[in-house]
Structure 1
């Protein structure tokens, strides 16, 4: 079996890392995989894929609508002759017509976010057509995401498989000690600097913590359009001594191992890869009760779930001052990751759909 994965770029973000993890694990399970990046950005992910023996093709897409991609993808499919097309994020408007022209009959699309946020309204119209007329199978990351697909696209629930994201858990550096330093308590956030990730609320909570828990420090890994605004907010709140922007990091596991808590206060989500990485590293977690997150984290068990509300977030952080609570939740998170969120389990589930 041969699978063609198509994605806009291979930048260091959640859907891209899921594509990487899936492609590598499929290869390990004997499936031939070719990954197509519409844009010609060589990245740490593309380098890792090639190191693992996965073929990566770059198509040099122009910004905006670029109908040349239909022709380019058709040529790729006729040359590579895949059995399955698997798309991610907003590429279906190019990849599905190409699959039809090239005769690739099995077509799968992973919905990486709540359905009404995954694509623009215009692209959602294309998606509706592809799901209903072009035999594209939408895959949901959780039952919650499945419900949004049914609601937005009127697809029968029975036609929407649910497959959890997964990672190579052997890469995690498992936390052993939960005895935080008296000089600094380190909170880690890994997320794009975008409205969805709700950094502004997090920064205002840090301002409140400055008086209540002076030793708290926040490190943010990620980049995005809001970087300058976030830097300005940090300066205005006078929390420069508490918050550090680390930029994009190729390998986040060393940072996870050094953190005392992981935090993700998103306004909406699919099934965040960073949350799985934190769980696999046995970190206690504070996150919001949105999208597929409640499938991953049971409140008071693997972490604390809150609404996207500053006071609730503040209270949850303060609750995890207790070392025993951090240890119990962190170890529970690791155990749940082993049971539900491995790359091996994810790949096996996709293979069942591909067949």
Structure 2
């Protein structure tokens, strides 16, 4: 029997939060029963593309979505669903643009159409009016609405919930065994990176406005004023890289900040760190923060980040972005350097990837097999909550 093929719609399969969540699920499902294909909105290859193909997934690449090419984009969506009638489930992760994808899927007769919110805000740019325009079409085109957190659900869907259900929370799960603290790995990697006698501050995130790197660097400057042995590791990349380099030079931190680029070994890097800083301006539910807690790291986090990202292991301190960098630095300098075993908290709080993967797999199978004329049979993943 052929597996149910689910079309996952994303921007590009790089190592972002939503994409990493999807790959965690993909690795843990029974792919003889459910298989993933991916529709991306970048023509270049993503970091996960090779692994996707090795796992049996197909990748369809579209150009980036631009308002000036909406008409062409809508035709391209119609064409892909016309050429691939095998899809009974489309799961879209591109926030407000998901409404356009799901409208085309509905037109093609795809019975199960899922919109998934992964953020709690949008940047101010010329596309903002078009983004708000897209949000009006969820009620008529989505059969289910998911969000990584309550705030992400409220922001994207508001009153435009799915036609057959409300907004359900599907948490961004992680594999504890991949991230759990390992003293031997920490010691080995700190030697390799020449960090044995350093106070290591860490951050994982793409270089864009929402991650607030400018403020992060100011906080680290205050830390470095007190602890000259401190080093900041920045894992990630993005369009703000030149600005970040200029800021580092301006603050006199050139020898103390390391830009590590996009990394496939984040779990190992977390072993090296002593403290995790996360001063985001807005987030849905950040995977990087959950991963840091899985590694037992204490985290200093902005109060703009959803409280649902705290797994309950006592590792997160929320701090207002109204507080000056020096206040953030004081809190970072007073954390405990003793790692915490967070496995029990991770499972209890619903972030265990094995359970999440099994739940979403059961959801896909049940709805693909039991869809009737009135719509999808509304059996939601067991870890979901209102």
The TM-score bracket by the shorter chain reads 0.7 to 0.9
* 2:128 paired residue number: 120
SS in 2 for 1:331: coil
**TM-score, scaled relative to structure 1:** 0.86
Partners of 1:66 and 1:146 lie apart in 2 by: 25
SS in 2 for 1:44: coil
How many aligned residue pairs are there? 346
SS in 2 for 1:161: strand
Contact persistence 1:263–1:286 (CA under 8 A): yes
SS in 2 for 1:57: strand
* 1:86 paired residue number: 91
> For the structure 1 residues 62 and 128, does the alpha-carbon distance in structure 2 shift closer, same or farther, using more than 3 Å as the test?
closer
* 1:43 paired residue number: 46
Q: Alpha carbon RMSD of aligned pairs, Å?
A: 2.9
> For the structure 1 residues 241 and 299, does the alpha-carbon distance in structure 2 shift closer, same or farther, using more than 3 Å as the test?
farther
Contact persistence 1:166–1:343 (CA under 8 A): yes
Match of 1:3 among 6, 30, 42: 6
* 1:345 paired residue number: 355
* 1:336 paired residue number: 345
Partners of 1:233 and 1:352 lie apart in 2 by: 48
Post-superposition shift, 1:318? Answer: 1.1
> For the structure 1 residues 278 and 29, does the alpha-carbon distance in structure 2 shift closer, same or farther, using more than 3 Å as the test?
farther
Partners of 1:61 and 1:190 lie apart in 2 by: 25
Post-superposition shift, 1:256? Answer: 1.4
**TM-score, scaled relative to structure 2:** 0.80
Gaps spanning 5+ residues in structure 2: where?
368-386
Q: Which moved more, 1:271-280 or 1:231-240?
A: 271-280
Q: Which moved more, 1:112-121 or 1:11-20?
A: 112-121
* 1:70 paired residue number: 74
* 1:134 paired residue number: 141
Contact persistence 2:311–2:345 (CA under 8 A): no
Runs (4+) of structure 1 moved beyond 6 Å? 177-182
Partners of 2:183 and 2:245 lie apart in 1 by: 33
Gaps spanning 5+ residues in structure 1: where?
none
For 1:80-125, what per-residue CA distance to the aligned partner results, in whole angstroms no more than 9, with x for missing partners? Answer: 5111110012542541232023110211111000155698332222
SS in 2 for 1:16: helix
Partners of 2:155 and 2:243 lie apart in 1 by: 31
Q: Does 1:100 align with 2:100?
A: no
For 1:127-158, what per-residue CA distance to the aligned partner results, in whole angstroms no more than 9, with x for missing partners? Answer: 222x22223422111223333346x4454996
